[in-house]
Chain A
Amino acid sequence: MIYSLCFILFIIGLYGATCKKNIVKIILGLLIMEYSVNLFLILLGWRKNGVAPIIDSQTDMKTFVAHSVDPLPQALVLTSIVIGLGVLSLMVAISIRLYQRYGTFDITEMKKLKH
C-alpha cells in the first residue's frame, strides 16, 4: 500500500520533469522523482516490530537478527542521495548560466539549436 504512494510521487515527478516549461520546475520534478525512488528503497527494508540496526555492548545477537530492519538499503540510499546532490548542483549551475545567456527561464524561448 505504501509502495503505491511512492509510485504516485514518482509519477508526479515525471509529470513535472516532462510537461512543465519553467527550468526551475523541471529541476524540481527531477528531484522529486529521485527522492521518491530513495524513499521506496528505504521502505523495502522495513520489518514489523523492527529495531534500528545499531549494535552496542548490551544487545543480544539472536533477538537483534530476528527483529532488526535491513541495513543494506540505508547504505545504498546514502550513496544515492549524494549522487542526487551532485547532479542537482550541476543542474542549478547550468540553469544560472542559461539565464545569463538567454535572459529567461522559459524553455520555449530557447530555440537557437536548429532542426
Chain B
Amino acid sequence: MSDISLFIALPIGMAFFIPIVSRNIKWFPDIAGNFTTFVLMLLSLLTINQEIVYNVGNWKPPFGIVLVLDGFSCLVLIIVNLIGFFSTLFSVEYIEKMFTSKLRYYSLFLLMLAGMNGVVLTGDLFNLFVFLEIASVASYALVGFGCEARELEASFKYLVMSSIASTFILLAVALIYGRFGTLNMAHVSLMVQKYGMDNVIKFSAVLLFCGLAVKAALVPFHAWLPDAHPSAPAPISAMLSGVVIKALGVYVIARITYNIFEMDTMISSMFIILGIVSMMIGVLMALGQWDFKRLLAYHSISQMGYIILGLGLGTPLGILGGIFHLFNHSLFKSLLFLNSGSVEYETGTRNLEKLGCLSRRMPVTSFSSLVASLSISGIPPFNGFWSKLIIILAAIQAGRPFSALWAVIGSILTLASFTKVQRYVFFGHGKHFKLESLPQIKEVPNLMQMSMILLAILCTVTGVLALGGPNGIFGPVIDVLTGGPSAYILKVLGKQ
C-alpha cells in the first residue's frame, strides 16, 4: 500500500458519484456508502508499520504538497475509518426510518470523511486549512440535517464559533508565511530551529492554539458542543464526538506542538491546567442533565480533558496514556451514541425521565450500553481502565500528584453519572415513565445490532494493546511525538 492519496480521492469520488446514479436507483447510496467505508477501513489497516512521504504531483518539498504517513497519523487514520465504517453500518436503517433524504446524507458523510483523512495525512499548512474547512462545512450541514427549529439553531451556533476559529487558523498560517516564506510543516520547523521564536511566531502559535482548541472543544471554548452533538442524527453524533473533535482538534494540536514548535514547560503546564479544568467542568455539568445525548456530549468534553492532560505531561508514559485514551474514547463514546440512537429509534424520546425498563425488551442495546458505561468509568478489564490507569501513573511519575488526584475524582464522578443513566433507562424507570408504552418496543434491526455488538467486542478486547508500555504496540506513535522537530524534519526533507 504505497499510494496514500487514495484515502482522499476515493471518498470524494464516491461522494460526487452518488447523486448522479441515485436519481433512478433507490438502493445505491446505502451500498456505495458502506462499500466505500469498508474499503477505506481495510486500506487503513494495511498501513500499519509503514512510513511514507508522498510527493503530490512529483514536486519535491518545499515546492509541492507532501502527504506524510507515520505512526501517529496511521493510528488516527485507523480510528477515523473504523468508526466511519460502523457509523455507515448503523445508518442504513436509522436514516431510512427517521429522515427523508438519504443520498444527501451519504454524500455529506463521505465528504466529511475525505476531509478528515486529508487533515490527518497532510504535511502542508495551507492544505491543512483547506481540508479542515471541507470537513467542518460538511459537519455543519450534517448537524442540522433534519431541519427542525432546534437543530438549525444548534447548527448555526456551531457554524459561527467554528468559522471564527477557522479564520484565526488562516490568520496564523498567513503570519507564518509572511515571516518564513514557506508553508511546508517540516520546513517551518527547520526555520523555527534556526531562527528561534520571535514575537510574530509566538503570536501565530497562540492564534493557532485558540482556533484548534475551539475545534477540539476544550474548556473555555466548548460552548458549541452541548448543543451541536444532541441535535445531530445518532451516527453523526458518534462521528462528531468520536472522531471529528479528535482528528481536527487533538491530532493537529499534538502535531503542531510536538513536531513544529518546541514543546517546553510553559506549554506543558498550560495543557495540564486546561486538561484538569475540562475534566472537572465536563463531569460536573453532566451530572445534572436529563437529556441522554446532552449528558454524553458533556462527558465528551471531560474525556478530552484526560487526553490533553496525558499529552501535556510530556513523558513517554504520559503520551502513551493520552494516545491510548484517544483510541479507547472513540470506541466507547461512539458506542454510547449509537446506543442512544437505538433508544430514540424505538421509543422516540431522549428524555431520561420518560424512559425506563428497557433491559428486558432491548437486550443487545442494554448489554452493549453496559459494556460502554463500564469502559468509560474505568472498571477493569475494559479498555477505559487501562488508559486512565496509565495517565494517573504517568502524572505521579512526572511529579504532579494533584493532577492524578483530580483524574481519580473525575473518574468517580463519571461512574456516578453513568450509574444514573443505567438506572433510569435500562434497569429502572424515570419519573414520567408510562408502563403501557412498553409492549410495542422491540429490538432494533439487524444491521444496527451488528455494529453495536462489534464495537462492544472491540471495547473489551483492546485493553491488551497497552501491554509492553511505551515500547509495545504504540511504540512507533510515541517515537514520532517524542522525537520532536528534528525527527520530523529528517523524515520529510531528508538530511539538511
Contacts and interface: CB of A to CB of B under 8 A. Distances in A.
Q: Do chains A and B touch in the complex (CB under 8 A)?
A: yes
Contact of B174 (A44, A90, A91, A94): A44
B70 interface: no
B164 A30 contact: yes
A10 B170 CA distance: 12
Given A17-B160, A44-B177, A94 B150 contact: no
Interface string B153-183: 1111001100110010011001001100000
Interface string A36-76: 01001100100000000000000000000000000001001
Nearest to A112: B150
B148 to A, nearest CB: 7
A113 B147 contact: no
A22 interface: no
A46 B141 CA distance: 38
Nearest to A34: B167
B1 interface: no
B435 interface: no
A59 B227 CA distance: 58
Contacts of B174: 37, 40-41, 44
A58 to B, nearest CB: 27
B167 A98 contact: no
A90 B149 contact: no
A98 B167 CA distance: 24
A97 B126 CA distance: 33
Interface residues of B, number: 29
A37 B167 contact: yes
Interface in B129-157: 130, 133, 137, 140-141, 144, 147-150, 152-156
B152 A37 contact: no
A44 B178 contact: yes
Contact of B155 (A44, A80, A83, A94): A94
Interface size class of A (residues with CB under 8 A): 20 to 34
Nearest to A93: B141
A37 B169 CA distance: 10
Contacts of A34: 163, 167, 170
Contacts of A102: 149
Contacts of B137: 83, 86-87, 90
Contacts of B167: 30, 33-34, 37
A8 interface: no
A86 B148 CA distance: 22
A17 to B, nearest CB: 6
B471 to A, nearest CB: 42
Contacts of A83: 130, 133, 137
Interface core residue of B148, B152, B167 (most chain A CB under 10 Å): B167
B360 to A, nearest CB: 30
A103 B302 CA distance: 36
B449 to A, nearest CB: 31
A23 B159 CA distance: 12
Nearest to A88: B163
Contacts of A18: 164
B129 to A, nearest CB: 8
Nearest to B179: A44
Contact of A90 (B147, B159, B177, B178): B159
A76 B181 CA distance: 13
Nearest to B290: A114
B172 to A, nearest CB: 10
A87 to B, nearest CB: 6
B177 A91 contact: no
A30 B177 CA distance: 23
Interface core residue of B149, B174, B178 (most chain A CB under 10 Å): B174
B227 A113 contact: yes
A75 to B, nearest CB: 9
Interface string A72-115: 01001001100100110011001101100110000000101110
A10 B232 CA distance: 31
Given A40-B171, A87-B133, A101 B148 contact: yes
B155 to A, nearest CB: 6
B280 to A, nearest CB: 19
Contacts of A23: 156
Contacts of A26: 160
Given A44-B177, A94-B156, A112-B150, A30 B163 contact: yes
A90 to B, nearest CB: 6
A112 B141 CA distance: 20
Interface of B: 126, 130, 133, 137, 140-141, 144, 147-150, 152-156, 159-160, 163-164, 167, 170-171, 174, 177-178, 227, 231, 291
Interface of A: 10, 14, 17-18, 23, 26, 30, 33-34, 37, 40-41, 44, 73, 76, 79-80, 83, 86-87, 90-91, 94-95, 97-98, 101-102, 110, 112-114
24 contacts: A10-B171, A17-B164, A18-B164, A23-B156, A30-B163, A33-B167, A40-B171, A41-B174, A44-B177, A44-B178, A79-B130, A86-B133, A87-B163, A91-B156, A91-B159, A94-B140, A94-B155, A94-B156, A94-B159, A97-B152, A101-B152, A102-B149, A110-B153, A113-B227
The 4 closest A-B pairs by CB, nearest first: A101-B149, A44-B178, A41-B174, A83-B133
